[in-house]
Amino acid sequence: MAFDELVQNLGGEHKQVVPVTVFIAFLCLCLVISHLLEENRWINESITAILFGCLSGTLILLGSRGKSSHILRFNEELFFIYLLPPIIFNAGFQVKKKQFFQNFFTIMLFGVVGVFISVFVVTAGSRWLFPKLRFDGLTARDYLAIGTIFSSTDTVCTLQVLHQDETPRLYSLVFGEGVVNDATSVVLFNAVQKLDVSRLDRQTAFHIIGDFCYLFSTSTVLGIVTGLLTSYSLKALYFGRHSSVREIALMVLMAYLSYMMAELLELSGILTVFFCGIIMSHYAWHNVTESSRVTTKHVFAMMSLVAETFIFLYVGMDALDIEKWKVSKLRYGHNVLSEPIRSHVIQTKILYITTQGLLYNMVSHNNSLVQVIIWWAGLMRGAVSIALAFKQFTHSGVTKCEINATMITNTNIVVLLTTLVFGFLTKPLIRYLLPHGGSTNQIYRESTITKDDQMNLPLLSMVESATTNLRRAKDGISMLIERPVHTIHSYWRKFDDTYMRPIFGGPPNSL
């Protein structure tokens, strides 16, 4: 069945035209509706897209008389090769580098160590719980995969409510944790795939950690090298001399190339493209013409927005996928399994964030407010979970096996519920926790404008505004973390000014 459908999709003219047209039309509608509902900030593109997906899925289900609810088969290749790279690259390109690197250790603590704990807890928990629910048939690798699938988070909803300029540190923590979390989950997922699960002993854990460190470092280096190469060629050849279109094309293509090369070398494309984005915004962005700067900034944001909306639209539509429901052990009325899994995951997450919080508290003496928000942001599951689930439990998006279908539907339900429920509640929660951080669109727009100035700031810098310093002092971050970071900062700044900037471009760091 998979065969004919694939051929149908590629062969006949109308098989590809119809779904693409419908998806593009829905994307346009999502954009318009999100714009109209922007004022109250309760709803964002993700939630609109999910609701739209559900609605259209229902209509298609009724139209096809209960035969099918989706018009485009989910393809994890589509997701990992075409939709994910622009989202992650844009994250790296637009991140406030100063904040990100100042909180680098904290982010790593939450992102990397947190995911390791979460994977362990979820895997052990599933192994204990699933047989009790008479849900058997999963292999050891499946259990480990479930651990990684439910350890990736989706911080988009939270980030849309937070303001980068009002709470810069919180924003960068949530944001950084999100990216590092996703990258760690995917790297771990790939490490688990290669694992010899027939003999699991103490060495396995070291093996996984070793693999992880190798993947993490090589991917980062690849991203940095690609970014520097692009910056150097843009500076040395000065493309803008003839046409600014060519330099924009080169930046887009090189960014994408870094991701694809990482995938080709079986590294983590997410990390590579993220660091490539950071390097490009730090050096390459200064070597292009003024119009190219404006264009690249907006193009990357646009591609990211479209890809993100597309994914959520699909998640909404696939939630009603009747074929998988029929195949899976679950029935409409008595959805016995997904609830336990969901609550289980949430409990696990609570557990792990609490552990993390304790760790974090020990080193930072921080107040609990930040923890609560990071914990909240960590509750939502997103597109990465879906994609990993499809990779583990299907073959080209199709499955006939009862157990696999159940796992896919469960992942969809978890993503759907967490995004809808927690997404809607995020704004009231943050308003309650941070009464001064009310949603004023004025500030939101300013954050876009000040991007230009921000781009000129050094990658790591001590220079900060008085207000930020004041806020930081309030937050009370321990000097234990602060001191070494600042020393590294100043060394890096000197090195950047003396060697890097003259070769790769960009204005010297202001003192």
Smallest gap from residue 22 Cβ to a copy of itself (A): 9
Q: Radius of gyration of the chain from Cα atoms?
A: 23
DSSP state of 398: B
Judged by beta carbon, residue 28 or residue 200, the one nearer a copy of itself is 28
Q: How far apart are the C-alpha atoms of 124 and 120, rounded to whole Å?
A: 6
Contact present, 460 and 97 (Cβ < 8 Å): yes
Side-chain half-sphere exposure of 129, counting CA atoms within 13 A? 18
Smallest gap from residue 39 Cβ to a copy of itself (A): 8
Smallest gap from residue 479 Cβ to a copy of itself (A): 39
Judged by beta carbon, residue 262 or residue 353, the one nearer a copy of itself is 262
Judged by beta carbon, residue 12 or residue 131, the one nearer a copy of itself is 12
Judged by beta carbon, residue 261 or residue 280, the one nearer a copy of itself is 261
Residues linked to residue 395 through DSSP beta bridges, in sequence order: 398
Smallest gap from residue 272 Cβ to a copy of itself (A): 12
Angle CA 190–195–201, to nearest 5 = 135
Angle CA 85–375–388, to nearest 5 = 35
Smallest gap from residue 453 Cβ to a copy of itself (A): 15
Smallest gap from residue 367 Cβ to a copy of itself (A): 32
Smallest gap from residue 399 Cβ to a copy of itself (A): 13
Smallest gap from residue 213 Cβ to a copy of itself (A): 23
Q: How far apart are the C-alpha atoms of 170 and 373, rounded to whole Å?
A: 8
Smallest gap from residue 427 Cβ to a copy of itself (A): 16
Burial of 481 (0-12, 13-18, 19+ CB in 10 A): middle
Sign of the Cα torsion 153, 481, 217, 112 reads negative
Judged by beta carbon, residue 456 or residue 467, the one nearer a copy of itself is 456
Smallest gap from residue 441 Cβ to a copy of itself (A): 7
Give which of 403, 409, 408 is closest to 391, Cα–Cα: 408
Name the residues that contact a copy of itself, by CB under 8 A.
2-3, 6-7, 10-11, 13-14, 16-18, 20-21, 24-25, 27-28, 31-32, 34-36, 38, 75, 77, 81, 233, 237, 239, 241-246, 248-250, 252-254, 256-257, 260-261, 263-264, 291-292, 294-295, 298-299, 301-302, 305-306, 395-396, 441, 444-445, 448
The total number of residues shown for the chain amounts to 511
Judged by beta carbon, residue 38 or residue 497, the one nearer a copy of itself is 38
Smallest gap from residue 144 Cβ to a copy of itself (A): 19
Rounded to 5 degrees, φ, ψ at 209 are -65, -40
3-class SS string, 188-225: HHHHHHHCCCCCCCHHHHHHHHHHHHHHHHHHHHHHHH
Q: End-to-end alpha-carbon separation of the chain, Å? A: 65
Judged by beta carbon, residue 286 or residue 493, the one nearer a copy of itself is 286
Judged by beta carbon, residue 16 or residue 218, the one nearer a copy of itself is 16
Judged by beta carbon, residue 12 or residue 210, the one nearer a copy of itself is 12
Q: How far apart are the C-alpha atoms of 141 and 143, rounded to whole Å?
A: 5
Residues linked to residue 398 through DSSP beta bridges, in sequence order: 395
Smallest gap from residue 24 Cβ to a copy of itself (A): 5
Contacts of 195 (CB under 8 A, 6+ apart): 141, 144, 204, 207, 208
- List helix spans (H) across 283-367: 290-318, 322-327, 338-364
Judged by beta carbon, residue 26 or residue 376, the one nearer a copy of itself is 26
Contacts of 95 (CB under 8 A, 6+ apart): 172, 175, 176, 277, 278, 281
At 505 the three-state DSSP class reads coil
Q: How far apart are the C-alpha atoms of 58 and 70, rounded to whole Å?
A: 9
Neighbours of 360 (CB within 10 A): 19
Rounded to 5 degrees, φ, ψ at 439 are -85, 100
Give which of 376, 482, 470 is closest to 432, Cα–Cα: 376
Judged by beta carbon, residue 353 or residue 388, the one nearer a copy of itself is 388
Judged by beta carbon, residue 302 or residue 358, the one nearer a copy of itself is 302
